[in-house]
């Protein structure tokens, strides 16, 4: 039960307390009365029906339940969905558009941190930082001698798949290292000097590494397939800080095991938290637990953005980070 102060605050619905929501809850709850579906003994559909006339705003997360047409149907008064991610594949955007429900995303709140992680994974694979760390810790330096050399970062041609907020920050960092940036995106960006490729396979063939930053759509599902990985070749590295199923994971694992690509830096996996066990034994693979975007600073920035968007909505002011859903 909300106390007297919270009862006067605007109400915002949250369906499930997933990891991102748990981090944001202390920030957002200072200015809004959070209606927590998971606290109710009622089944979700019954809970939503009970509150259907009063819920105008909802906070959603990519690691939480999807916002389906059925959920939107049960919330006829809903006017805005504040998502905590830059990608929107967990929201039925077509149904939101049909119902006139505005959607706001994470904007640039995560872009710098995700880019730092992407470039960090790339450097780690190329320079064998994690692998040589294990080698030293296992006492092998003294018994087996020096570890195999890594490769220089400068001068490499790096293909970025998805040149949105995150991809642009990755490009900026790679330029500082002296890399040549190539890219594939939904459309060419004439204002940029980077070379554009409409075909991902051709991009892979011309790149020393691919860094995946794009959103998940019907077109990008398993877009990085056997053909693309073969085009990347034996000296190619792949880094994924995008969505889980953009890479055909089974094909990628086989390419890594067979030495058909040079290495991988992976923050996301198809069946999280289950990671293919074949990867554990490979020193040319760096694994991270889906936290590329997550820093203390990013969570604070995201909390402020979500709060600002909701404040703008309840004050009839322009939303801070409206998503393009047409």
pLDDT digits (tens, 9 = 90+) for 14-32: 999 988 899 999 999 999 9
Domain covering 4-109+295-314, topology: Rossmann fold (3.40.50)
227 carries an active-site annotation: no
pLDDT at 245 over 80: yes
Catalytic pick from 112, 243, 251, 262?
A: 243
Identify the band that residue 62 occupies on the pLDDT scale cut at 50, 70 and 90.
confident
Domains 4-109+295-314 and 111-287 share a fold: yes
pLDDT value, residue 44: 95
pLDDT at 100 over 50: yes
290 carries an active-site annotation: yes
- Domain map of the chain by residue range? 4-109+295-314, 111-287
pLDDT value, residue 7: 58
Residue pLDDT, tens place only, 29-56 = 999 999 999 999 999 999 999 999 999 9
Mean pLDDT, range 100-113, rounded to an integer: 94
pLDDT at 71 over 90: yes
pLDDT value, residue 19: 86
Mean pLDDT, range 138-152, rounded to an integer: 97
Mean pLDDT, range 210-235, rounded to an integer: 96
Please state the pTM of the whole predicted model. Answer: 0.90
pLDDT at 249 over 90: yes
Mean pLDDT, range 295-309, rounded to an integer: 95
pLDDT value, residue 325: 65
Catalytic pick from 73, 97, 235, 272?
A: 272
Catalytic pick from 6, 222, 290, 311?
A: 290
pLDDT value, residue 187: 93
Q: Over the range 185-212, which residues count as b (16 or more CB within 10 Å of their CB) and which as e?
A: beeeeeeeebeebeebbebbbebbbbbb
Percentage of the chain exceeding pLDDT 90: 90
Q: Report angle CA 244, 183, 276 to the nearest 5 degrees.
A: 25
Mean pLDDT of the chain: 94
17 carries an active-site annotation: no
- Cα dihedral value 267, 273, 275, 277, nearest 10: 140
Instruction: Give domain 111-287's CATH number out of 3.40.50.300, 3.40.190.10, 3.40.50.720, 3.80.10.10.
Output: 3.40.50.720
pLDDT value, residue 326: 56
pLDDT at 303 over 60: yes
pLDDT at 2 over 70: no
Nearest Cα residue to 74 out of 49, 109, 47, 95: 49
In angstroms, the CA 249 to CA 232 distance is 15
Mean pLDDT, range 114-129, rounded to an integer: 98
pLDDT value, residue 172: 98
pLDDT value, residue 253: 98
pLDDT at 6 over 60: no
**Contacts of range 99-105, beta carbons closer than 8 Å, 24 or more positions apart:** 99/72, 101/72, 102/313, 102/319, 102/322, 103/322, 103/323, 103/325, 104/80, 104/306, 104/309, 104/319, 104/320, 104/321, 104/322, 104/323, 105/321, 105/323
Residue pLDDT, tens place only, 184-208 = 999 999 999 999 999 999 999 999 9
């Amino acid at each position: 039960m909300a106390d007297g102060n919270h009862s006067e605050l605007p109400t915002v619905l949250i369906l499930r307390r997933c990891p991102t929501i748990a981090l944001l809850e202390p920030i957002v709850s200072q200015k809004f009365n959070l209606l927590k579906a998971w606290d109710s003994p009622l089944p979700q559909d019954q809970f939503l029906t009970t509150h259907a006339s009063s819920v105008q705003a909802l906070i959603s997360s990519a690691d939480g339940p999807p916002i389906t047409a059925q959920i939107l149907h049960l919330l006829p008064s809903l006017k805005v969905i504040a998502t905590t991610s830059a990608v929107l594949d967990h929201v039925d955007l077509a149904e939101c558009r049909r119902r006139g429900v505005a959607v706001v995303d994470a904007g640039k709140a995560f872009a710098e941190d995700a880019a730092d992680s992407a470039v960090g994974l790339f450097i780690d694979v190329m320079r064998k930082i994690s692998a040589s760390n294990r080698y030293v810790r296992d006492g092998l330096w003294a018994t087996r001698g020096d570890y195999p050399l890594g490769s220089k970062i400068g001068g490499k041609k790096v293909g970025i798949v998805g040149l949105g907020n995150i991809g642009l920050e990755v490009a900026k960092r790679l330029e500082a290292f002296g890399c040549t940036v190539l890219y594939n995106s939904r459309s060419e960006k004439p204002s940029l000097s980077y070379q554009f490729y409409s075909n991902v396979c051709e991009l892979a063939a011309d790149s020393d590494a691919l860094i995946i930053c794009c959103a998940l759509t019907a077109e990008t599902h398993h877009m990085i397939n056997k053909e693309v990985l073969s085009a990347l070749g034996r000296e190619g590295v792949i880094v994924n800080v995008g969505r889980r199923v953009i890479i055909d994971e089974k094909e990628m694992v086989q390419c890594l095991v067979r030495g058909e690509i040079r290495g991988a830096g992976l923050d996301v996996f198809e069946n999280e938290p289950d990671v293919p066990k074949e990867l554990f034994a490979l020193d040319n693979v760096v694994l991270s637990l889906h936290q590329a975007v997550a820093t203390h600073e990013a969570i604070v920035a995201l909390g402020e953005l979500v709060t600002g968007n909701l404040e703008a909505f309840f004050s009839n002011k322009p939303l801070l980070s409206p998503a393009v859903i047409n």
